[in-house]
Amino acid sequence: MTTALSSDFPFAVEARDGRARAGRLRTPHGVLETPCFMPVGTKGTVKAVSPTQLAGIGAQIVLANAYHLALRPGVELVAAHGGLHGFMGWHGPVLTDSGGFQVFSLADTRAVRDDGIEFSSVYDGSRHLFTPEGVMRLEEALGADIVMCLDECPPATAERRELERAVERTTRWAAACRAAQRRNDQLLIGIVQGGTDEELRRRSATELQQIGFGAYAIGGLSVGERGEEMLATVDLMDELLPEERVRYFMGIGDPRGIVDVIARGVDVFDCVLPTRMARTGTALLRDGSRANLQNARFAADLAPLDATCDCPCCTGFTRAYLRHLVNQRELLAHQLLTLHNLRTLVRLCADARVAIRAGRFAQMAASVAGR
Amino acid sequence: MTTALSSDFPFAVEARDGRARAGRLRTPHGVLETPCFMPVGTKGTVKAVSPTQLAGIGAQIVLANAYHLALRPGVELVAAHGGLHGFMGWHGPVLTDSGGFQVFSLADTRAVRDDGIEFSSVYDGSRHLFTPEGVMRLEEALGADIVMCLDECPPATAERRELERAVERTTRWAAACRAAQRRNDQLLIGIVQGGTDEELRRRSATELQQIGFGAYAIGGLSVGERGEEMLATVDLMDELLPEERVRYFMGIGDPRGIVDVIARGVDVFDCVLPTRMARTGTALLRDGSRANLQNARFAADLAPLDATCDCPCCTGFTRAYLRHLVNQRELLAHQLLTLHNLRTLVRLCADARVAIRAGRFAQMAASVAGR
């Protein structure tokens, strides 16, 4: 039985090619065309680039993180700006992650209790308690269009008992988040856990659907498990999750990984990889390969980074110039490579949408090499 | 007697208000409307912002530095891009400083000889010799529209004997640069030295005009001398330099200093101050004051940085958001504050041009406070 949703955004799967889907999700701040890569702006800014620049490369949505923003600058300040859209100056859709993952991975000390997670701030060591109800209040104040439940994301090395306990808590917390939701203009997403264990994934997916969410996320993957186990789990999720709901794979950002999850029915995904790699001088290329611009082979290379790319980096500068910027630790390198890497994934998704509608997604996906 | 110039760009003083001048200098890459603040892009990039963004805030010209570029990445690579315009992706006018100042201030070890300066690279300690002829070859290869002679810039603490020797060398090197100039599409600027010593300034200005340059720079100020001595020296230069040539004050970038030198007949000026201050979280405001965004008084301030400013920073973000970016060391802070600080000086100069033409420069200058 599915409880009536307190908020639900229209999502239409408009085309299918194999299990790949192309669709449209309407949000209060605009339509998301899927498949869609979502750039990460953890602290209310996609590192090194402005909202205007993001819009210019075709980004559709930006992610932010409730954990980080609750600690700095505090949700009250964001709310005083009318929410994240006003705070960040980004007027398209916004998604906030609860920050459960950050509590697990960043907090100095933490204690997971059945009612929530107690932890020390990475900023000043102060003690905080994240409960499902508390996280919903934070995400309400942040005002994103799409908000995530508090979940427990165990590491790939977790024992089955730990995975099982995480599924139990994730279900309990999801129900509490669902019950605590007050705003009717935010799409609340339930997060399926269970590692790569088929039985636990079935249980988690079933329990979340019994609670009833407007969309579902696949959490707990891309945390160090083997590639084939990850893909087998995504295959399973495709079978278990409802067709008419958006599916969000949390944490994938390399071109090959993206086409692999699109091929398995995933609609949206995010990752810090393109932006983080940019800041180490590495470019993602459309064919799935990477270029480390510190490499001496680019020293006198007058070609653009990617001759097929229409981003401000590739249309304005040579590889040799980019290498000069990277080697001299010039800030412009971060801006240009961030724009390029994000544009590469935005273009990849646009190409996938066209290919799915044209029934040639498999050929398009085959053009993207693994690493 | 003025030698015929191997290259000269048309410069017209179109309006005067007191000693302040408004004019136009034609270069192969476009017209410079003066008074004009010139953003500094030492290594072939104005730190943290792109050429498109610079054009967007109305910057007219960019400076680069022959010393830095000769060491990294080397002038051959820049020349292979057709010069700095192609290398940097900036299609307006470019000026290169010789880098003499950097040799004096940065080089680990240096020996000034009558034929040039021998020094160790800040990058790898390798030994180099800058001669006037060599510097002209570097600047030719870099391909800027406006190029500077090699000069000797002594510190404000220099004894008269040292100042005098610097004037002698600067004259000798200027003559050698003039003789070594081969390109006829680069405006070569002679640099007047002499500290705050009236007799030496007269001598330097006279000797340089005997050689004959298309424009003159006032070097050796803003190096630590007292403000009134600096302004008295600029007053003297106004008397000594020819009316029909562009005058370039090297190294001034605070609003009050800028109106003070414009009031004394200076046409163009540059400084790292606006871009460097931006990267420490400090904003230059139109009235001459400064705002350090780390200050707690901005913590909940929802106003724009400067309500009168039309830059991407002031039209898109609040002070509280900027403070969050600065405190979290987010790269977007550098981009936004750099654009704002440069826009402030670009606007100040545009206002000065209008005010000079309207005969109300004194009132406009009075609106800019000292620090």
- Rounded to 10 degrees, the C-alpha dihedral A39/A40/A45/A50 comes to -20
Contact between chains at B88 and A51 (C-beta distance less than 8 A): no
B73 touching A (Cβ < 8 Å): yes
Return the exposure string of B114-146: e unless at least 16 CB atoms fall within 10 Å of the residue's CB, then b: ebbbbbbbeeeeeebebbbbbbbbbbbbbbbbb
pLDDT band at A4 (very low <50, low <70, confident <90, very high): very low
Percent of chain A with pLDDT over 90: 89
B369 touching A (Cβ < 8 Å): no
Contacts of A332 in chain B (CB under 8 A): 45-50
For the cut 90, the answer to whether the pLDDT of residue A236 exceeds it is yes
CA distances in angstroms from A222 to A116, A170, A219, A249, A371, listed in the order given: 24, 18, 9, 9, 15
B318 touching A (Cβ < 8 Å): yes
| Six token digits for residue A284 | 């993602």
Residue A272 confidence (pLDDT): 97
CB pairs under 8 A between A and B: 108
Chain B residue with CA closest to A91: the answer is B316
Task: Give me the catalytic one of B97, B145, B254, B260.
Answer: B97
Residue A1 confidence (pLDDT): 36
| Six token digits for residue A276 | 């983080």
| Six token digits for residue A2 | 């599915």
CA distance A178 to A2: 12
CA distance B98 to B106: 14
Strands (E) located in A232-331: 246-250, 268-270, 282-284, 290-292
For residues B264 and B235, the answer to whether their CB atoms sit within 8 Å is yes
Least Cα separation, residue A112 to chain B (angstroms): 27
User: How do residues A157-203 score in pLDDT, each as one tens digit?
Assistant: 999 999 999 999 999 999 999 999 999 999 999 999 999 999 999 99
Contacts of A72 in chain B (CB under 8 A): 324, 327-328
Residue B7 confidence (pLDDT): 62
| Phi, psi angles (nearest 5°) of residue A118 | -100, 135
Residue B39 confidence (pLDDT): 98
B52 touching A (Cβ < 8 Å): yes
Which residue among A87, A300, A332 places its CB closest to the CB of B45? A332
Q: Which of A75, A280, A315, A332 to mutate to test the interface with B (most CBs of B within 10 A)?
A: A332
B314 touching A (Cβ < 8 Å): no
Contact between chains at B321 and A80 (C-beta distance less than 8 A): no
Lowest mean pLDDT among A114-123, A234-243, A281-290, B288-297: A114-123
Contacts of A300 in chain B (CB under 8 A): 77, 80
For the cut 70, the answer to whether the pLDDT of residue A107 exceeds it is no
Task: Give me the catalytic one of A17, A97, A197, A306.
Answer: A97
B327 touching A (Cβ < 8 Å): yes
For residues A340 and A282, the answer to whether their CB atoms sit within 8 Å is no
The one-letter amino acid at A10: P
β-bridge mates for residue A292, sequence order: A282
Length of chain A: 371
The one-letter amino acid at A354: V
Which residue among B50, B327, B330 places its CB closest to the CB of A335? B50
| Six token digits for residue A79 | 């709310």
pTM value is: 0.97
User: How do residues B12-21 score in pLDDT, each as one tens digit?
Assistant: 999 999 999 9
Chain A residue with CA closest to B331: the answer is A48
The DSSP H or E segment spanning B110 is strand B110-113
Of A213, A214, A244, A212, nearest to A1 by C-alpha is: A212
Four-residue CA torsion sign, A20, A22, A26, A31: positive
Chain A residue with CA closest to B68: the answer is A328
| Six token digits for residue A94 | 């916004």
| Six token digits for residue A320 | 């040799």
Q: How does the average pLDDT of chain A come out, rounded?
A: 95
CA distance B229 to A133: 66
For residues A275 and A304, the answer to whether their CB atoms sit within 8 Å is no
Query: Which residue bears the tokens 């102060």?
Result: A126
Q: Which of B76, B317, B332 to mutate to test the interface with A (most CBs of A within 10 A)?
A: B332
Contacts of B80 in chain A (CB under 8 A): 300, 302, 320
For residues B208 and B220, the answer to whether their CB atoms sit within 8 Å is no
Chain A residue with CA closest to B47: the answer is A331
Contacts of B47 in chain A (CB under 8 A): 330-332
Contact between chains at B81 and A320 (C-beta distance less than 8 A): yes
B121 touching A (Cβ < 8 Å): no
Of B118, B185, B116, B186, nearest to B151 by C-alpha is: B116
Q: Which of B45, B84, B90 to mutate to test the interface with A (most CBs of A within 10 A)?
A: B45
Least Cα separation, residue A317 to chain B (angstroms): 6
For residues A324 and B73, the answer to whether their CB atoms sit within 8 Å is yes
pLDDT band at A104 (very low <50, low <70, confident <90, very high): confident
A56 touching B (Cβ < 8 Å): no
Angle in degrees, 0-180, between the axes of helices A331-358 and A255-262, rounded to the nearest 10? 30
CA distance A2 to A338: 41
For the cut 60, the answer to whether the pLDDT of residue A50 exceeds it is yes
Chain B residue with CA closest to A302: the answer is B81
Which residue among B89, B331, B336 places its CB closest to the CB of A334? B331
For residues A210 and A1, the answer to whether their CB atoms sit within 8 Å is yes
Residue A371 confidence (pLDDT): 67
The series of mean pLDDT values per 10 residues for chain B, 371 residues long, is 59 98 97 98 98 98 97 98 98 95 78 90 90 97 98 92 96 98 96 98 98 97 95 98 97 97 98 98 95 98 97 98 98 98 98 98 94 67
Angle in degrees, 0-180, between the axes of helices A319-327 and A331-358, rounded to the nearest 10? 130
A55 touching B (Cβ < 8 Å): no
User: How do residues A301-331 score in pLDDT, each as one tens digit?
Assistant: 999 999 999 999 999 999 999 999 999 999 9
Contacts of A302 in chain B (CB under 8 A): 80-81
Cα A334 to chain center, whole Å? 20
Coil, strand or helix at B35: coil
Chain A residue with CA closest to B314: the answer is A89
Whether residue B115 lies in the annotated active site: no
Whether residue B17 lies in the annotated active site: no
**Range list of H helices, chain B:** 51-56, 66-71, 75-80, 84-88, 100-106, 132-142, 160-180, 198-211, 227-240, 255-262, 273-278, 312-316, 319-327, 331-358, 361-366
Contacts of B89 in chain A (CB under 8 A): 316-317, 321
Contacts of A299 in chain B (CB under 8 A): 73, 77
The one-letter amino acid at B58: G
Which residue among A77, A302, A318 places its CB closest to the CB of B300? A77
B329 touching A (Cβ < 8 Å): no
Residue B3 confidence (pLDDT): 45
User: How do residues B186-196 score in pLDDT, each as one tens digit?
Assistant: 999 999 999 99
CA distance A308 to A287: 10
Contact between chains at A77 and B317 (C-beta distance less than 8 A): no
Q: Which of A65, A279, A331 to mutate to test the interface with B (most CBs of B within 10 A)?
A: A331
| Six token digits for residue B109 | 């070890």
A89 touching B (Cβ < 8 Å): yes
A357 touching B (Cβ < 8 Å): no
DSSP letter assigned to residue B40? B
Contacts of A330 in chain B (CB under 8 A): 43, 45, 47
Task: Give me the catalytic one of B151, B267, B270, B351.
Answer: B270
Least Cα separation, residue A257 to chain B (angstroms): 28
Least Cα separation, residue A181 to chain B (angstroms): 27
Q: List Cβ neighbours of A113 (8 Å cut-off, separation of 6 or more).
A: none
For the cut 50, the answer to whether the pLDDT of residue A2 exceeds it is no
For the cut 70, the answer to whether the pLDDT of residue A3 exceeds it is no
